[in-house]
Every structure is written in structure tokens, then in C-alpha cells.
Chains A and B, each alone.
Chain A
């Protein structure tokens, strides 16, 4: 099964998260794709700091644009760097979104399987599928860059807690979907990754990738709302973005030998 299209969508989403970081927001972002036209029709990024509204998560920003429009949410697929929180998971379900793809799990608030399974519980009728693990390490790495920055500006009266933020190893890759869902959505030939815990998904089996491979300036410039809301995009930005992430090898292992940079303001 070729997952290139999903990786491309998630690479764009991760780049939007980076733009949010440049705008002093938590680097969590999403895009909405219309399956009828296969086009990205909206983007979202955390907007809680600027709006002073703790509910303005990426999913809300992306979908509230359609609030008074006639739209069939069942045609829409969401790609989001971090698993939707409990609130957003319920929001997506009430809107009857078609499907969700996310990068890394949300250990604190995850509503698509990590803490609660709001996408599939029996409180409401319609459920949605939520597939994890596309560009997982990149989503985590981007968040780490945000917390490094926060930590360095925060006063530390007591000994610094070792929160593992700067250590390079990523937590084990545990899928929040069933084996059947994995096979159906990500391919039986990748089951090894489902079972192993230390390997990452790649777009094509036995081929490695780096998230920056999927980004093209002209394409990014055409993403709706992106430049208007988060500022102009330059090739230099794409390059700085690319320097933050480890490559993934063909066997799904992470290339920790690579030198990656830390984001600084």
C-alpha cells in the first residue's frame, strides 16, 4: 500500500505547525481535505494564545470557517499533527467528519484512543475512524522545539525537572487502532511496524524519507489561508523547517545519527 499521499498531506500539516510556532503559538496544526475534489480546503493551527480562548484548537480554526456554509462534513478528511483532544474529538464527531489521520498521540488529553475514545464510544450514533502514526516523530519533535523554548524562558527556582524534553529518543510507537484497522488502512505488509514498537511508518515500504522531501514552495503558497494568516513563506523557511527533523530509514528506524537543529526565536 502506497501511503505517499497521506505523508504529503501530513508534511504540509507539520509545516503549518511550524508556521504557528513562528507566530508564538503551540505548534499543532491541521488541514481539511475534500475527498470529492482531493483538494485542501482549509487549514487550522493552535490559536489559543492570540484569541485568549482556550478552545481555539487547530480543529476549531479549520472547521469553524464552514459554520454558516452548506457543507457535507462526510466528504471531509482531517489531517492533524497531534491526536485530537477530548473536546475536539467530540466536536469532530458532532459535525460528522469522515475520517481523521494524526501524527503522534496526545498523552494528556487524547480523545481518539489515548486517554478516551470519544470518536467511537456509544454516546452518539455516528462514529469516525482515526488513524495514527503518519509523521509521528516529526509531530513530537516540533512540540519539543516549542517546549524547549518555553522552558528556557521560564524561571526555574528549583532544580530543573528532567522531563526528557531534550533527550533525542522518541517514546515507543504504540498504535491506538486495532490490528484490523491497521491492515485495512496502512497495509498488511507493514504489520511488523504495528507489532515492533520501535519503528515508524514510511510512505513506501523499504524506502526511507525526510519530511522536507514533500514540501514545494509553489505548492505551499497555494494552500488556502496559509500565507494570509501566518505570513509569507520562503524557501529559507522550508529549509530551516527541514533541518529540525530526523530522517526515517527504509526499515522504519529513526536516523538518530543525523544532526538536527533546535528552533530558536
Chain B
């Protein structure tokens, strides 16, 4: 696969300025987790009938697997994930369609695809897998960023921070390339968690949506913070990171890590499977902006100590 010129696949860096923040690296485990899937054997001549019949099942969890394998003069096919249907339901489906098969049974197969061709081949001893390239590399190559716009937003964060020496952090919520909100936090001894810039922003967006639905019912309705890109001087705390996931944002870009942060510093919230929602997380590593924020933070720390 030819990488695009602005993509550093190995380090997950785009345009030398955005570093991908990701929970897992590109190394596969020795063996995969497995899931039970219903399978059966049938005559190769009835393959298209089989494929037609199993269309009623949701195949989202099977896309990484070869659906059919040839064993001697038979085909062994995957029907559906184990929990999706009972043996009786499948029997009935096949009987109603007069489809001939034998050995309807659960088979344990890899729960997910591999990240390298080597592992794909190794795991094929459990069940053959599809290989379409490293999924993350494919994703990185396909991404299209308006890097000038991203840069503008990051600089907007810095300009806002610079406006007032009392500001310690800034967050910007953007939708459709339009700045919807800029929130700041000042240094306070006892900042209430619900006054964190991200929580304030989420609350305002919800109130605005309520107002809009009431007064302008014909306008397109929004769903939580879906469609939003969020820019922040700092990595958010665990509460705010999870609040962004609950709010269904699509992209988060920050400059500085924090000790109690919920992303790169601890749990990679936003990039964890199983939490119902994932969003892209990027750290801005462009040197001009990094130097500038370090300087702004230094000034604030000096003032605080003073």
C-alpha cells in the first residue's frame, strides 16, 4: 500500500502536526479472542441458495471472516453469530426453504481481524480471515483533513488563552466548520466539576437545541453533540472525556496532556471498544503552537506561585 505523502503510517502522524492518540498499538496478540458462530456443511451447488438464506441475519460481526470454506467436496459456511439465533430457528429457516445441509453446529472463530498479513495467516488455523490491509493504516490513508482549518482552530485556542492571564484552559466546539462555542476555565481553588469547560459547553449545546426545537420546529434537529469537532488546550479529565463519548462527538484535538487526563494519560476514553461510541483523538504536535502554549502555561504558573 502506498502511503499518502502527508501520512506517517508508522507513527500515526498527519502533516507532521497531528498525532493519532490510540489505545492499541499495531501488534496483534498471540491468539485472538473467539466468538461462537453457527455453521453447517452443504453441497457446493447450493452455495448461492445458502448465501441468500443467511441474508436475514446481521453479519456485522462476521465481516472479517471468510464466509465459506471448502472441505473435501463440501462447503462449510458460517450462518450467524451464536447469540443471534437458536438452532431451532435456523433449522426452521432451512427446512422452510428445503435447503439440504448437515452438521449444524457452533464453531469458535476469531472475534476480530488481524492487523498484519502474518497474523492473518496464522489465525487461519482457527478459521480463515479476510485481509484488506492494516485497518488503521487504511483509515489514516483515507482521512482527509483541511489542515489549514485545523491549524486555525488550534491558534484560536492559543489566542483566547493569551487574552487573559487568568485563563488556564480553553475549549472550542465546532460544527460544520463553524465555531459554535468557546469556553474558558480560570484558575480556581475549588472548580466545580460541572464548571469544566467541556461540561459547560455540552450543557449549552443541549439548552440551545431545546430552544431551537421549541421555537424553530422546522429546522434540522441535532442529536446531542453528534457532528461536533472539539478543540482544547488540554487533555480532558476522565469525567469530561467520557462526557464527550456520551455526547457522540466525532473528533477531539488537544495540545497538552494533564496528570489526571482520561485519554493518553490513562484510559484512552473515546478510543475504547465497548463504550458504545468512539471518536478520533489527535494531539497537535506542530512545534510553533507547542512552544507557544508552553510559554503561556509558564507565565500562568509563575503568576500562580507569585
Name A's B-contacting residues (CB within 8 A): 51-56, 60, 64, 67, 85-91, 94-95, 108-109, 111, 115-116, 118, 121, 123-124, 158-159, 161-163
A54–B239 touching, CB < 8 Å: no
Given known contacts A52-B224, A55-B246, A87-B242, is B267 in contact with A162 (CB within 8 Å)? no
Smallest CB–CB gap between B89 and chain A, Å? Answer: 7
Q: What B residues does A109 contact at CB under 8 A?
A: 242, 275-276
The reply to whether the CB of B7 lies closer than 8 angstroms to some CB of chain A is no
Cβ-closest chain B residue relative to A159: B56
Q: Are B260 and A124 in contact (CB under 8 A)?
A: yes
Given A53-B202, A54-B224, A116-B267, are A159 and B262 also a contact pair (CB < 8 Å)? no
- Residue in chain B with minimal CB distance to A163: B83
Complex interface: chain A residues within 8 A of B199 (CB) = 55
Q: Are A118 and B56 in contact (CB under 8 A)?
A: no
Are B58 and A123 touching (Cβ within 8 A)? Answer: no
Q: A52 to B259, alpha carbons, bound, how many Å?
A: 31
- Kindly list chain A residues whose C-beta atoms are within 8 Å of the C-beta of B246: 54-55, 85, 87
Interface magnitude class on chain B: 35 or more
Shortest Cβ distance from residue A51 to the other chain B in the assembled complex, whole angstroms: 6
| Interface check B266, CB cutoff 8 A | yes
B85 is an interface residue with CB less than 8 A from chain A: yes
Q: Given known contacts A55-B246, A109-B275, A123-B266, is B56 in contact with A95 (CB within 8 Å)? A: no
State whether B56 touches A51 (Cβ < 8 A). Answer: no
Residue of B with least CB distance to A107: B274
Partner of B192, one of A67, A88, A159: A67
- Minimal Cβ-Cβ distance residue in B for A68: B192
A255 to chain B, nearest CB (A): 27
Q: Is B62 an interface residue (CB 8 A)?
A: no
**How many Å lie between the Cα of A235 and that of B237 in the bound state?**
44
Of the candidates B83, B202, B248, the one whose C-beta lies within 8 Å of that of A162 is B83
Q: How far is the CA of A91 from the CA of B83 in the complex (A)?
A: 35
* Residue pair A162, B242 in contact (C-beta under 8 Å): no
Taking CB atoms, residues of chain B closer than 8 Å to A51 are 206, 210
- For B133, the chain A residues whose CB sits under 8 A away are none
Inter-chain contact A123/B260, CB cutoff 8 Å: yes
Residues of B within 8 A of A86 (CB): 238, 242, 267, 269, 275
A115 CA / B86 CA spacing, docked (Å): 29
Name the distance in Å between A122's Cβ and chain B's nearest Cβ: 9
Please measure, in the bound complex, the distance between the C-alpha atom of A118 and the C-alpha atom of B210, giving whole angstroms.
32
* Inter-chain contacts of A124 with B (CB < 8 A): 260
| Known contacts A90-B262, A124-B260; A52 and B243 CB within 8 A of each other | no
Known A52-B210, A87-B246, A162-B86: A95·B224 in contact at CB below 8 Å: no
